[in-house]
Amino acid sequence: MTKIIASLQDADKKFFFNQVLADINLTVKAGEIVGLIGPEESGKTTCIRCLIGMEDLTDGKAHVLDEQMPKRKMLSKIGYMGQEAAIYGTMTAHENMVFFGKLKNLKGQELKSEIDKNLKLVGLHETGSNKVSKFSGDMKRRLSLAIALLGSPKLIVLDEPGAGINPGLRLSVWNHLRTLADEGAGIIAAAQWMSGVEQYDRVVLLNKGRIVAAGRPEALMNEYKAASIEEVFINMEAVT
């Protein structure tokens, strides 16, 4: 049995009386890329934030690497990329990497090699010394991703990773994520409507805070007689 990297068990989350998540069961195994797919306001971001312990669960349990979350120490094993680019505009790409690398407790030679490796991956190694404020939206997203991948985290959590990255580069990013997964990392990515759904080993469809379907992408499409994940949602609505 492959190792479970992260899991949510019977997770409920309420903000006051507003039920944002209900009865979520979710696992991310080592070597696996999981897609968390759903429309806006479906609870994807909350789900991710609960998983890594930024939020408390109202009910249920969240685990990362067998430790119950929220636990501060575990955050050093997680690479997180939020919806915003989350980078400092007044600094260069390289300086941004150094800052977040240091926060991830990387030092000296290791820090340097990690930065070089990840900047190269997202195709920013030549523009690394440029100020981020001069970057295009696409470049900012790429830099943000490079920061999330710093320090080879065991669990990689990406909120809308594909948004705003151009198709050519997206493929190389996916390939790299696949390599990281093969090396034993667990990856979970939230997305709205996903093109390139074949990249996921497993998808979890989320709607109004509940998991409506889960499984291998092809299996789901067969089950709902759909050509894409979007159609799965549409056909599902038609049934209910």
Partner 1 sequence: MTGVGTIAVQTFRSMLGNVKMLLWVLLAPLVVITLMYLVFDVKNETDIRIGVPDTMDPTFTEGLPEDVEVLTYELTPVLDTLLDTHELDAFVSMEDKGLNVTYKNEDPPKTAAVEQAVETGVRAVEDERLKGIMAALPEEAEIPKIEIETSFLYGDSASTYFEKMFPILTGLVLFFFVMVFTCITLFRERTSGTLERVLATSIRRSEVILGYLTGLGLFVLLGTVMMVLYAIYLLDVTIAGSMIWVFVIYILVSFSGAAAGMLIALLSKSEVRMMVLILLVTVPQIFLSGLIPFDYIGDWFNNIGYGFPLRYAGDALTEVMIKGNSWSYIWNELLALALFIIGFTVLSILGLKKHRRV
Q: What is the binding site for partner 1 (CB under 8 A)?
A: 52-56, 70-76, 78, 80, 82-91, 95, 99-100, 102-105, 131, 147
**3-state helix, strand and coil shares in percent for the chain, rounded to the nearest 5:** 40, 30, 35
By beta-carbon proximity to partner 1, the closer residue of 2 and 105 is 105
Do the strands 67-68 and 59-64 form a parallel or antiparallel pair, or are they unpaired?
antiparallel
Q: 184 vs 4, 202, 210, CA distance in Å?
A: 10, 16, 28
Return the SS3 of 28.
Answer: strand
Q: How many CA atoms lie within 13 A of 61 on its CB side?
A: 10
Tell me how long the chain is.
240
By beta-carbon proximity to partner 1, the closer residue of 37 and 50 is 50
CB of 79 to partner 1, least distance (A): 9
By beta-carbon proximity to partner 1, the closer residue of 73 and 225 is 73
CB of 215 to partner 1, least distance (A): 29
Element holding 66 (H helix, E strand): none
Return the structure tokens found at 212. 């409506």
CB of 70 to partner 1, least distance (A): 4
CB of 198 to partner 1, least distance (A): 29
By beta-carbon proximity to partner 1, the closer residue of 80 and 224 is 80
Residue 193 phi/psi, 5° resolution?
-105, 125
CB of 182 to partner 1, least distance (A): 24
By beta-carbon proximity to partner 1, the closer residue of 83 and 172 is 83
